[in-house]
């Protein structure tokens, strides 16, 4: 069985909880990523995804410069250990109706797994 670690994205990009939606979206576009972590290395409090931007933000009339990422991000980040099988990751995503998982190793975030992976 294939482990999550072989499919996850190891480069993790983050913004502070006080960053604006515009800042986060620009950073996501710059790095060509579909999700961005909220917080600092080792202390991530949430995750903002492209789906969040379209469903939660775009559906409402909010100012992208004055709406904080912490207002629409998913908290807490749902995580699985890196050594878990991919089948478990897909089942977790399906059951929780999410498209991104945090991947941990020894209680430390080491990557992000997307349904696209």
What digits encode the pLDDT tens for the residues 49-104?
998 888 877 667 778 899 999 988 989 999 999 999 999 999 999 999 999 999 99
Give ∠ CA 107-50-16 in degrees, rounded to 5: 55
Q: Please, are residues 7 and 117 in contact by the beta-carbon 8 Å criterion? A: yes
Question: Coil, helix or strand for 24?
Answer: helix
- Looking at domain 4-114, its CATH superfamily turns out to be CBS-domain (3.10.580.10)
This prediction's pTM: 0.88
Show the DSSP H helices in 1-117 as ranges. 21-31, 50-52, 69-72, 86-96
């Amino acid at each position: 069985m294939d482990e999550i670690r072989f499919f996850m994205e190891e480069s993790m990009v983050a913004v502070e909880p006080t960053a604006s939606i515009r800042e986060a979206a620009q950073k996501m576009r710059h790095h060509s990523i579909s999700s961005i972590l909220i917080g600092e290395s080792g202390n991530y409090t949430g995750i903002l995804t492209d789906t969040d931007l379209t469903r939660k933000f775009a559906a409402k009339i909010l100012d992208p410069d004055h709406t904080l990422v912490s207002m629409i991000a998913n908290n807490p980040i749902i995580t699985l250990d890196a050594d878990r099988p991919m089948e478990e990751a897909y089942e977790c995503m399906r059951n929780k109706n999410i498209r991104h998982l945090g991947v941990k190793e020894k209680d430390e975030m080491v990557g992000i797994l997307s349904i696209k992976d």
